[in-house]
C-alpha cells in the first residue's frame, strides 16, 4: 500500500520504507449526544449537548448525490439483511500476472521530491514476474481460526489484548464466509475502543513534518494523528517529530526510538508501528527484511520486533498494517494465508499448511490491526474494481481471525499508479464518504488517509482534490463529535437495524441514546427505503443527526427515508 520508494539510492525527500521495501500504494438537533466540535481528548468522555455545526466543517463538495462514479455494485447480497456484515463470496478472482516493479523514477512533482533513481513500483510488486492466486479468492469473511497458532514469540500482549488467532468474540464471522449475525456484538475490540475510549483515530499516512502540506494543514482538516515517520529520519529527530506533531494537536504512530524504553510515558505516541504490509513483503521481496531470510522473513522480523518492544514497554500498543487485497484474496501458494484460505496442498509444493499460519503469526505481533484497500485508484481484481464494499469485506474477514481493534486506510487521491490492475482516477467526494463509513460500519476503530500521488512526473505527499478535502473535513468533524459513541460496543445486541441492499447499517448505544448509521453504498438514489429498528421501545420518532430539526416518524420501530448516492444518515433515538 503505502511506502513508495525503494532504498539503495539516497533520495531528497523520502517516505520511510516498510520492512518489505517499496511497493505501490494499495496494491493490492437538539438533545443529541455530541461534542462541541473541538479536538478529541484521548480517553476523555464525549460531551453532550453540542451541535454538530460547531466543528466548523465546510459543506462544499459534501452534498450527497453529486458524485456518482464507479462502485454501483453496492453491497453484495440482495434482500433484507441485519447489519451489512454479511459478505458474499468474491467469486474466486485470480491475480494473474501482477506487475513487477516498474522502476519508474519520480522527476519532481508538485512539492514532492525527485526520486533520483529510487524506484517507485508500478502496480503490484512481484519478484516472480507476477502473482497468481492459484486457489481463487477465499470466502469473504473466512473461517475464524479457532485459537489458531500464535507463532513464535506470540505471547498475548499484556494490557488485555488477546493474541492473534483467538476467538472471534460473539458475532464473529462464521466458517465458510458467513458474516456476523446482525445484532450480535462483533469481535473487533468488544465493548471498548482498544484503549482509545472517547478518541477516534483520524490519521494520515507517511506525511512530512516540514514539507507541504504539513501538520498544520492536516490538523485544520480534522486529522488527529500522523501515522508513519514521513521524512522524520532524514530531517528531524524522533523527539522533534513528536514535538512538531504535538504542537499541531496530533498524536503519532511510528516506529520506536532507537532505545524503545525512551518512549515510555510519551503521551503523544499512541502506538509503535511494525513495518508496513509485512504480508506482501514476506512472500515476494528478497532481502527486504534483513537480517531474516527464508520463506516469510518479514513475519520473523515482526515477531522479533514484538518481543523486543513488549519487553521494553508492556503497555504500549503495537500497530501493524496489512495489504487489504491480499487479506481478501489470500488463498495462494507461497504467499501469506490465514485460516479458511483453503489451497490444495498438491498445488503448493509443500508450503501448506505453513502458509496458513502466516496471518495468525502476523496478527500475534500487534495489538491494533490495520488494512489498506483502495477500490478506485489502487490495485484490484477486475471483479472488485470500483466495489467500495470491498473495504468492509476485508474488515469482516479480519474480524473472523482476531478480536483485536481494527483500522482502515482510505484512499483520497488519484495515485497515478501504472501497470495492470490499477485504477485510472481518484475517488469522488461521495465515494470517499462511503469508503469512510463503510469501514466504520464494518468495525473500524479508526480511519487513516492515504493522500499520495506516486506518478513518475506528479509525485506529491498530498494530491487530495479540493472537493474531497471539503468532504474529508466535514466527515472528520462528524466522526470527532461522535467519537465517544463510535468507540463504544460495536453493534450491541440490545438494539439493531434491518435494511435492504444497497443500504447497510451499524449501531451504537450510549448515554441513554441509540445511534443507527445507515449508508447507501451505491451511486444511485434510493427513495422510500425501509429501515426497521429494534430495541427502541415505544419511541415515536428519531432525530436525524446533523440534519436537525429533521425527524423521521417511527411506526413499530420502522420508518422510510430517502438516500442520495453514497449518502449517510445517522438516526438518534432517545431512551
User: What pLDDT score does 287 carry?
Assistant: 64
User: What pLDDT score does 185 carry?
Assistant: 32
Q: Residue with C-alpha cell 458474499?
A: 88
User: What pLDDT score does 340 carry?
Assistant: 82
Higher pLDDT, 365 or 14: 365
Q: Are 461 and 452 in contact (CB under 8 A)?
A: yes
Residue 458 domain flag: no
The pair phi, psi for residue 119, each rounded to 5°, is -70, 135
User: What pLDDT score does 234 carry?
Assistant: 60
Q: How much of the chain, in percent, has pLDDT values that exceed 90? A: 51
Neighbours of 147 (CB within 10 A): 12
What order do you get walking across the sheet with 551-553 strand by strand? Answer: 503-510, 513-520, 568-574, 541-544, 551-553
Q: Which domain does 519 fall in, by range?
A: 64-82+493-574
Residue 567 domain flag: yes
pTM of the model as a whole = 0.73
Residue 395 domain flag: no
- Say how many domains are in the chain: 1
In whole angstroms, what is the distance from residue 203 CA to residue 476 CA? 10
Residue 546 domain flag: yes
Higher pLDDT, 506 or 101: 506
CATH code of the domain covering residue 531: 2.60.40.1180
Residue 56 domain flag: no
- Residues 141-151 have pLDDT tens digits of 333 333 333 33
User: What pLDDT score does 549 carry?
Assistant: 87
In whole angstroms, what is the distance from residue 415 CA to residue 376 CA? 10
- Residues 33-56 have pLDDT tens digits of 333 344 565 643 333 333 333 333
Q: Is the pLDDT of residue 177 over 50?
A: no
Helix (H, G, I), strand (E, B) or coil at 291: coil
Report, as an integer, the average pLDDT of 327-333.
79
Per mean pLDDT, which range of 21-25, 323-327, 396-400, 452-456 is the poorest? Answer: 21-25
Q: How much of the chain, in percent, has pLDDT values that exceed 70? A: 63
Q: Is the pLDDT of residue 27 over 70?
A: no
Cis peptide before 502 (omega within 30 of 0): yes
Residue 499 domain flag: yes
User: What pLDDT score does 304 carry?
Assistant: 96
Q: Are 460 and 110 in contact (CB under 8 A)?
A: yes
Residue 333 domain flag: no
Q: Is the pLDDT of residue 248 over 60?
A: yes
Report, as an integer, the average pLDDT of 344-362.
78
**What are the residues whose beta carbons fall under 8 Å from the beta carbon of 70, sequence distance 6 or more?**
376, 385, 386, 431, 523
| Residue from 64, 31, 32, 40 nearest 437 by CA | 64
Please name the helix (run of DSSP H) or strand (run of DSSP E) that holds residue 355, with its range, or none: none
Quote the DSSP letter at residue 116.
E
Amino acid at each position: 500500500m503505502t511506502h513508495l520508494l525503494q532504498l539503495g539510492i539516497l533520495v531528497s525527500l523520502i517516505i520511510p520504507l516498510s520492512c518489505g521495501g517499496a511497493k505501490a500504494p494499495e496494491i493490492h438537533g437538539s438533545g443529541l449526544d455530541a461534542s462541541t466540535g473541538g479536538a478529541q481528548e484521548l480517553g476523555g468522555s464525549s460531551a453532550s449537548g453540542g451541535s454538530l455545526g460547531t466543528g466548523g466543517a465546510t459543506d462544499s463538495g459534501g452534498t450527497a448525490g453529486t458524485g456518482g462514479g464507479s462502485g454501483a455494485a453496492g453491497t453484495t447480497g440482495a434482500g433484507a439483511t441485519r447489519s451489512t456484515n454479511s459478505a458474499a463470496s468474491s467469486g474466486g478472482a485470480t491475480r494473474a500476472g501482477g506487475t513487477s516493479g516498474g522502476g519508474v523514477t519520480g522527476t519532481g512533482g508538485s512539492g514532492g521530491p525527485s526520486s533520483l533513481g529510487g524506484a517507485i513500483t508500478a502496480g503490484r510488486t512481484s519478484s516472480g514476474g507476477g502473482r497468481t492466486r492459484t486457489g481463487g479468492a477465499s470466502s469473504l469473511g473466512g473461517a475464524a481460526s479457532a485459537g489458531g497458532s500464535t507463532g513464535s514469540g506470540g505471547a498475548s500482549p499484556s494490557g488485555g489484548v488477546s493474541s492473534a488467532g483467538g476467538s472471534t468474540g460473539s458475532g464473529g464471522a462464521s466458517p465458510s464466509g458467513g458474516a456476523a449475525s446482525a445484532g450480535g456484538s462483533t469481535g473487533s475490540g468488544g465493548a471498548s475502543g482498544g484503549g482509545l475510549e472517547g478518541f477516534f483515530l483520524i490519521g494520515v499516512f507517511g506525511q512530512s513534518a516540514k514539507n507541504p502540506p504539513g501538520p498544520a494543514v492536516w490538523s485544520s482538516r480534522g486529522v488527529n494523528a500522523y501515522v508513519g515517520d514521513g521524512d522524520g529520519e532524514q530531517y528531524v529527530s524522533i523527539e522533534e517529530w513528536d514535538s512538531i506533531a504535538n504542537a499541531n494537536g496530533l498524536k503519532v504512530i511510528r516506529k520506536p526510538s532507537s532505545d524503545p524504553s525512551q518512549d515510555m510515558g510519551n503521551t503523544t505516541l499512541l502506538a509503535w508501528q511494525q513495518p508496513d504490509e509485512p504480508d506482501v513483503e514476506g512472500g515476494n521481496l528478497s532481502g527486504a527484511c534483513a537480517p531474516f531470510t527464508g520463506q516469510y522473513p518479514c513475519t520473523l522480523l515482526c515477531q522479533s520486533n514484538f518481543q523486543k518492544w513488549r519487553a521494553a514497554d508492556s503497555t504500549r500498543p503495537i500497530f501493524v498494517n496489512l495489504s487489504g487485497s491480499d487479506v481478501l484474496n489470500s488463498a495462494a501458494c507461497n504467499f501469506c494465508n490465514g485460516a479458511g484460505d483453503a489451497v490444495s496442498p498438491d498445488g503448493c509444493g509443500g508450503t501448506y499448511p505453513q502458509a496458513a499460519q502466516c496471518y495468525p503469526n502476523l496478527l500475534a505481533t500487534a495489538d491494533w490491526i490495520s488494512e489498506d484497500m483502495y477500490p478506485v485508484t489502487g490495485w484490484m481484481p477486475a471483479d472488485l474494481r470500483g466495489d467500495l464494499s470491498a473495504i468492509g469485506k476485508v474488515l469482516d474477514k479480519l474480524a473472523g481471525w482476531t478480536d483485536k481493534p481494527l483500522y482502515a486506510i482510505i484512499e483520497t487521491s488519484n495515485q497515478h499508479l501504472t501497470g495492470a490492475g490499477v485504477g485510472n482516477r481518484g475517488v469522488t467526494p461521495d465515494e470517499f464518504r462511503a469508503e469512510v463509513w463503510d469501514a466504520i460500519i464494518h468495525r473500524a476503530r479508526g480511519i487513516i488517509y492515504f493522500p499520495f500521488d506516486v506518478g513518475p512526473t506528479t509525485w506529491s505527499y498530498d494530491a487530495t482534490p479540493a472537493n474531497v478535502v471539503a468532504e474529508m473535513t466535514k466527515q472528520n468533524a462528524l466522526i470527532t463529535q461522535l467519537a465517544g459513541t463510535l468507540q463504544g460496543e460495536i453493534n450491541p445486541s440490545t438494539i439493531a437495524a434491518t435494511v435492504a441492499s444497497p443500504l447497510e447499517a451499524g449501531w451504537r448505544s450510549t448515554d441513554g441514546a441509540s445511534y443507527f448509521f445507515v449508508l447507501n453504498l451505491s451511486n444511485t438514489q434510493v427513495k422510500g427505503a425501509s429501515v426497521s429498528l429494534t430495541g427502541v421501545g415505544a419511541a415515536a420518532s428519531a432525530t436525524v443527526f446533523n440534519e436537525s430539526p429533521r425527524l423521521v416518524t417511527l411506526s413499530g420501530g420502522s420508518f422510510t427515508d430517502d438516500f442520495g448516492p453514497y449518502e449517510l444518515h445517522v438516526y438518534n433515538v432517545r431512551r
